[in-house]
Chains A and B, each alone.
Chain A
């Protein structure tokens, strides 16, 4: 199922027909994504689906081989100053200079952004319980992530890009980081793009979700719509099925004997029709979680 893209009008991020190949492998294949001002987009997909590659294109670290990338209507490769001055970024690799002290890193970063808010920086420093005199290399993984997020937030960027912000972090730090993001969205209406494996996070804060698989966009739409357009249904057959039943429109089929659970994309009536077509009846149906949808779409065929 392909959910139509959002409109490109007023888009903070407009990616259109983006193609990137590394040798034979297509890392991104005709990817189009639009993010409107003030929205939160969750970028999801398996490892190697192309999430980080897409983010690197948004930051101008990779040049499109085909297609266009525009942030605020500007090309990040041709005009890095114009674009990067309005973007905050937290890297998955937490690539911070280990030799600097936390406050030195803040002063270094501040010099590039005239809009740096020292009061906000102080507040976040306190909230994240960071020691300004400590060297970055001696920080824990969670503290490093917080320092990176602080440096990305303190100049109040128009667009915040977070690549796996909670990867490898404990639940407490994850909560702190998510709360900071939620506050930014709620209080300031900033635009946020974040990639994550943790779909409960995406479900909680994203109002738009884009799912990449093998470098292609397989899902793109409002989070609620995406969930509503899928149905997790339990099908009952009169006779035990020796082989996995083939259901048109189902992304995953699992079970055995007479009862099989499917993840179906489409309306309830379409589900009923599809079930009837293979001689089954729908015993139970519910709205699946994003996690279930991702696993079904990525993992695929059922068992």
Chain B
């Protein structure tokens, strides 16, 4: 025991203990998730039931992605400083009597070792059995993953605050797809060359981390004033130009929200669009899956463009209710809380910002998809996309307009779905709500799963579905009405804002109802149309928006 305790009393031990101390419970959870997924895999191997197997595979894959992302965050050693708006290596460690090389080596070596081991364990025992990595060379992928991790650390620590910093890190991460796929893309390349590429990647990452951190520790690199001066020198007119006045308080707040939260989704979508689409082309071309003339599958890019903003909006939604993404609690910053604006006004600005962000993200995605189809695939790809629909390119484009509306609407819905809960600024409420949502959605999955197994249950559920939907809709409207009434009584929201929210919800619901009609008809599922329309109304946020001004009031006046 004494020896074990003494081991922590070395500088390296203390650095490692910090990681362990902070994340030990989540590491334990990771272990539990791993064992649970292992159980899924065994169950999948034993069952003959195809759909159940697929669901288990998806659950296992989700477990891996969550566990891996958590490891990246735990060992990444990147912290945010709310005051200086700086994200990077924890500055407090620079004050410790530890050499810079040790500050670099401990998190990189230890983090690298752990992520590699965890990756290999998941890959060998879970991902390969469920058919995700197929017959790939696991050691090679694992080592590329190691390089990916080290590059994220190196750039996350060493790049100074500058415009486009996140983009550089993101691109460096995505670029690792190329070495990862080298064995498939360049099967004739001698093995020695591949290893040389990997060694070079390792060496460069460590050099950047060491050099960057030593400059930062000496205050040479991480001096925002120097970069501000350099920026001003490059943009002399811009840096000192006084911004024009805002037209109103609404515009000023929208500008602030846009800079803190709104830019996140279109920025991420834009960056991914720039890089993901050419990667898809390149990979398809080299893997020989592109079809004739090296042109990729026609519907792949539009599908990616359709799905990506919706997925990303789910990922960034939790930040939407905050007023500063770096602030750990959801409490309002004083400089915002004391502005003479109604609580409902702050909420309306957030909703508008989310709509703007959704529209731009979708437009970026679709624009990028069209651009890359045109540039990389030439006219042939457009032709193929047009042929993919029964009535050619024009019909495809005409159908694309409502589809774009649909995409924007659902991206916006994902962004604002938790806004009422998030605006309370209470962590216990957001945690509880997250757990509740997870339980609710998990329950639906389990029910669907059981229904797929049991024909009788399936039939009963389908029979009850209209009643369940009507009850859900009635409950939603009743809850929202109560919240609106309460908000109006407490002057947290104006009658006009209530009108806008209810009117918007009704219009969006009508759009979904109309949009789903021809689809149901085309699929031969016309009897299901009323249920689908009601589901649309249920999915669109109303209660969340109704409680948002009250939540804001509760947060602002504690």
Q: Which residues of A contact B (CB under 8 A)?
A: 59-63, 77-85, 87, 89, 91, 93, 95-99, 103-104, 107-113, 132-135, 137-138
CB of A62 within 8 A of CB of B240, answer: no
CB of B334 within 8 A of CB of A111, answer: no
Complex Cα gap A82–B225 (Å): 39
Of the candidates A83, A93, A107, A138, the one whose C-beta lies within 8 Å of that of B243 is: A107
Complex Cα gap A99–B255 (Å): 13
Q: B554: nearest residue on chain A (CB-CB)?
A: A63
Q: B331: nearest residue on chain A (CB-CB)?
A: A61
Q: Does B343 contact A (CB under 8 A)?
A: yes
Complex Cα gap A77–B558 (Å): 10
- Which residues in window 252-282 of B have CB below 8 A to A? 252-253, 255-256, 259-260
Q: Which residues of B contact A81 (CB under 8 A)?
A: 340-342
Q: Which residues of A contact B249 (CB under 8 A)?
A: 111-112
Q: Which residues of B contact A78 (CB under 8 A)?
A: 491
Q: Which residues of A contact B191 (CB under 8 A)?
A: none
CB of A98 within 8 A of CB of B85, answer: yes
* A80 touching B340 in the complex, CB below 8 Å, given contacts A62-B558, A108-B256: yes
Complex Cα gap A97–B333 (Å): 9
- Contacts A/B (CB < 8 Å), 29 sampled: A60-B556, A62-B557, A62-B558, A80-B343, A81-B340, A84-B340, A89-B338, A91-B335, A96-B335, A97-B256, A97-B335, A98-B83, A99-B259, A103-B242, A103-B243, A110-B245, A110-B252, A111-B247, A111-B249, A111-B251, A111-B253, A112-B340, A132-B242, A133-B232, A133-B239, A133-B240, A137-B85, A138-B224, A138-B228
Known: A91-B335, A97-B333, A110-B245. 10 other contacts (CB 8 A): A61-B337, A80-B556, A85-B340, A93-B334, A107-B252, A108-B252, A110-B246, A111-B246, A112-B339, A134-B228
Q: B246: nearest residue on chain A (CB-CB)?
A: A111
Complex Cα gap A110–B556 (Å): 21
CB of A137 within 8 A of CB of B224, answer: yes
Complex Cα gap A83–B339 (Å): 10
Query: How close is B225's CB to chain A, nearest CB, in angstroms?
Result: 5
Q: A77: nearest residue on chain B (CB-CB)?
A: B557
CB of A135 within 8 A of CB of B228, answer: yes
Query: How close is A272's CB to chain B, nearest CB, in angstroms?
Result: 51
Query: How close is B324's CB to chain A, nearest CB, in angstroms?
Result: 8
Complex Cα gap A95–B331 (Å): 12
Q: Does B390 contact A (CB under 8 A)?
A: no
Q: A79: nearest residue on chain B (CB-CB)?
A: B491
Q: Which residues of A contact B84 (CB under 8 A)?
A: 98, 137
Q: Which residues of B contact A89 (CB under 8 A)?
A: 334, 338
Query: How close is A63's CB to chain B, nearest CB, in angstroms?
Result: 5
CB of B232 within 8 A of CB of A111, answer: no
* A138 touching B225 in the complex, CB below 8 Å, given contacts A63-B558, A98-B83, A108-B255: yes
CB of A80 within 8 A of CB of B342, answer: yes
Q: Which residues of B contact A63 (CB under 8 A)?
A: 557-558
* A95 touching B245 in the complex, CB below 8 Å, given contacts A112-B341, A135-B224: no
Query: How close is A183's CB to chain B, nearest CB, in angstroms?
Result: 23
- Which among A61, A63, A113 has the highest number of chain B CB atoms within 10 Å? A61
Complex Cα gap A138–B343 (Å): 31
- Which residues in window 211-264 of B have CB below 8 A to A? 224-225, 228, 232, 239-240, 242-249, 251-253, 255-256, 259-260
Q: Which residues of B contact A107 (CB under 8 A)?
A: 242-246, 252
Q: B255: nearest residue on chain A (CB-CB)?
A: A108
Question: Chain B interface: which size bin?
Answer: 35 or more
Q: B82: nearest residue on chain A (CB-CB)?
A: A98
* A111 touching B252 in the complex, CB below 8 Å, given contacts A61-B557, A85-B340: yes
Contact flags (1/0) for B496-513 with A, using CB distance below 8 Å?
000000000000000000
- Which residues in window 436-455 of B have CB below 8 A to A? none
Complex Cα gap A133–B246 (Å): 18
CB of A95 within 8 A of CB of B335, answer: yes
Q: Which residues of B contact A83 (CB under 8 A)?
A: 340
Q: A144: nearest residue on chain B (CB-CB)?
A: B83
CB of A84 within 8 A of CB of B252, answer: no
- Which residues in window 280-337 of B have CB below 8 A to A? 324, 333-335, 337
Q: What 5 A-B pairs are tightest by C-beta distance, nearest first?
A: A111-B252, A85-B340, A111-B246, A84-B340, A133-B240
Q: Which residues of B contact A59 (CB under 8 A)?
A: 337-338
Query: How close is A194's CB to chain B, nearest CB, in angstroms?
Result: 16
- Which among A80, A82, A99 has the highest number of chain B CB atoms within 10 Å? A80
Query: How close is B469's CB to chain A, nearest CB, in angstroms?
Result: 39
Complex Cα gap A61–B331 (Å): 11
Of the candidates B225, B248, B558, the one whose C-beta lies within 8 Å of that of A61 is: B558
* A132 touching B251 in the complex, CB below 8 Å, given contacts A61-B338, A137-B224: no
Complex Cα gap A255–B228 (Å): 58
CB of A61 within 8 A of CB of B334, answer: yes
Contact flags (1/0) for B77-100 with A, using CB distance below 8 Å?
000000111100000000000000
* A84 touching B338 in the complex, CB below 8 Å, given contacts A108-B255, A132-B240: yes
Complex Cα gap A59–B334 (Å): 10
Query: How close is A100's CB to chain B, nearest CB, in angstroms?
Result: 8
Complex Cα gap A285–B464 (Å): 91
Complex Cα gap A66–B342 (Å): 24
CB of A99 within 8 A of CB of B338, answer: no
- Which among A81, A82, A91, A103 has the highest number of chain B CB atoms within 10 Å? A81
Query: How close is B105's CB to chain A, nearest CB, in angstroms?
Result: 30
Q: B239: nearest residue on chain A (CB-CB)?
A: A133
Q: Which residues of B contact A98 (CB under 8 A)?
A: 83-85
Query: How close is B322's CB to chain A, nearest CB, in angstroms?
Result: 13
Q: B332: nearest residue on chain A (CB-CB)?
A: A61
- Which among A87, A107, A108, A110 has the highest number of chain B CB atoms within 10 Å? A108
Query: How close is B544's CB to chain A, nearest CB, in angstroms?
Result: 23
CB of A111 within 8 A of CB of B245, answer: yes
Complex Cα gap A95–B554 (Å): 21
CB of B232 within 8 A of CB of A108, answer: no
Q: A92: nearest residue on chain B (CB-CB)?
A: B334
Query: How close is A53's CB to chain B, nearest CB, in angstroms?
Result: 11
Q: Which residues of A contact B246 (CB under 8 A)?
A: 107-108, 110-111
Q: Which residues of A contact B324 (CB under 8 A)?
A: 97
CB of B338 within 8 A of CB of A104, answer: no
Q: Which residues of A contact B256 (CB under 8 A)?
A: 97, 108
* A95 touching B333 in the complex, CB below 8 Å, given contacts A103-B242, A108-B252, A137-B85: yes
CB of B243 within 8 A of CB of A104, answer: yes
Q: Which residues of B contact A93 (CB under 8 A)?
A: 334
Q: Which residues of B contact A87 (CB under 8 A)?
A: 338
Q: A83: nearest residue on chain B (CB-CB)?
A: B340
Query: How close is A112's CB to chain B, nearest CB, in angstroms?
Result: 5
Q: Which residues of A contact B255 (CB under 8 A)?
A: 108
CB of B556 within 8 A of CB of A61, answer: yes
Query: How close is A258's CB to chain B, nearest CB, in angstroms?
Result: 53
Q: Which residues of A contact B259 (CB under 8 A)?
A: 99
Q: Which residues of A contact B333 (CB under 8 A)?
A: 95, 97
Query: How close is B131's CB to chain A, nearest CB, in angstroms?
Result: 46
Of the candidates A60, A85, A97, the one whose C-beta lies within 8 Å of that of B557 is: A60
Q: Which residues of A contact B260 (CB under 8 A)?
A: 99
Complex Cα gap A112–B338 (Å): 10
CB of B557 within 8 A of CB of A112, answer: no
Q: Which residues of B contact A108 (CB under 8 A)?
A: 246, 252, 255-256
- Which among B85, B248, B324, B491 has the highest number of chain A CB atoms within 10 Å? B85
Query: How close is B514's CB to chain A, nearest CB, in angstroms?
Result: 39
Complex Cα gap A48–B252 (Å): 35
Complex Cα gap A93–B341 (Å): 22
Query: How close is B366's CB to chain A, nearest CB, in angstroms?
Result: 30
Query: How close is A241's CB to chain B, nearest CB, in angstroms?
Result: 51
Q: Which residues of B contact A61 (CB under 8 A)?
A: 334, 337-338, 556-558
